[in-house]
Amino acid sequence: MNWRRRTVCAHQAALVLSFSIQLDAVVKIYADACQLSDTDVMVLVEICDYN
Protein backbone atom coordinates (compact mmCIF):
# COMPACT_ATOMS: atom_id res chain seq x y z
CA MET A 1 0.00 0.00 0.00
CA ASN A 2 1.44 3.37 -0.93
CA TRP A 3 2.04 6.15 1.57
CA ARG A 4 -0.67 8.48 0.21
CA ARG A 5 -3.32 5.79 0.48
CA ARG A 6 -2.21 4.87 4.00
CA THR A 7 -2.30 8.54 4.98
CA VAL A 8 -5.85 8.92 3.67
CA CYS A 9 -6.83 5.75 5.48
CA ALA A 10 -5.25 7.01 8.71
CA HIS A 11 -7.06 10.33 8.32
CA GLN A 12 -10.39 8.55 7.90
CA ALA A 13 -9.59 6.48 10.95
CA ALA A 14 -8.80 9.63 12.91
CA LEU A 15 -12.19 11.08 11.98
CA VAL A 16 -13.95 7.95 13.18
CA LEU A 17 -11.83 7.74 16.31
CA SER A 18 -12.62 11.32 17.25
CA PHE A 19 -16.22 10.17 17.73
CA SER A 20 -15.36 6.85 19.31
CA ILE A 21 -15.25 5.94 22.99
CA GLN A 22 -13.56 2.59 22.35
CA LEU A 23 -10.32 4.12 21.08
CA ASP A 24 -8.10 1.05 21.40
CA ALA A 25 -10.55 -1.29 19.68
CA VAL A 26 -11.10 1.05 16.75
CA VAL A 27 -7.38 1.77 16.41
CA LYS A 28 -6.73 -1.96 16.12
CA ILE A 29 -9.42 -2.42 13.49
CA TYR A 30 -8.09 0.44 11.39
CA ALA A 31 -4.47 -0.59 11.93
CA ASP A 32 -5.31 -4.03 10.54
CA ALA A 33 -7.45 -2.68 7.69
CA CYS A 34 -4.97 0.02 6.69
CA GLN A 35 -1.87 -2.08 7.38
CA LEU A 36 -0.52 0.63 9.66
CA SER A 37 2.72 0.15 11.50
CA ASP A 38 2.97 0.52 15.29
CA THR A 39 4.44 3.99 14.75
CA ASP A 40 1.51 5.02 12.56
CA VAL A 41 -0.91 3.81 15.22
CA MET A 42 0.92 5.76 17.93
CA VAL A 43 0.73 8.92 15.81
CA LEU A 44 -2.94 8.22 15.11
CA VAL A 45 -3.71 7.88 18.82
CA GLU A 46 -1.81 11.10 19.55
CA ILE A 47 -3.81 12.89 16.84
CA CYS A 48 -7.06 11.60 18.31
CA ASP A 49 -6.05 12.53 21.85
CA TYR A 50 -5.11 16.00 20.64
CA ASN A 51 -8.46 16.48 18.94
The residues spanned by each domain of the chain are 3-50
Long-range contacts for 26-33 (Cβ within 8 Å, ≥24 apart)? 33/9
What is the per-residue pLDDT for 22?
66
Output Rg (C-alpha) for the chain, integer angstroms: 10
Instruction: Please give the residue that has the higher pLDDT: either 40 or 49.
Output: 40
What is the per-residue pLDDT for 28?
74
Does residue 51 have a pLDDT over 50? no
In whole angstroms, give the CA distance from residue 34 to residue 7: 9
pTM: 0.32
pLDDT (tens digit per residue) in 2-43? 556 666 677 777 777 666 666 667 777 777 777 767 677 667
What is the per-residue pLDDT for 35?
73
- The half-sphere exposure of 45 on its side-chain side, counting CA atoms within 13 A, is 16
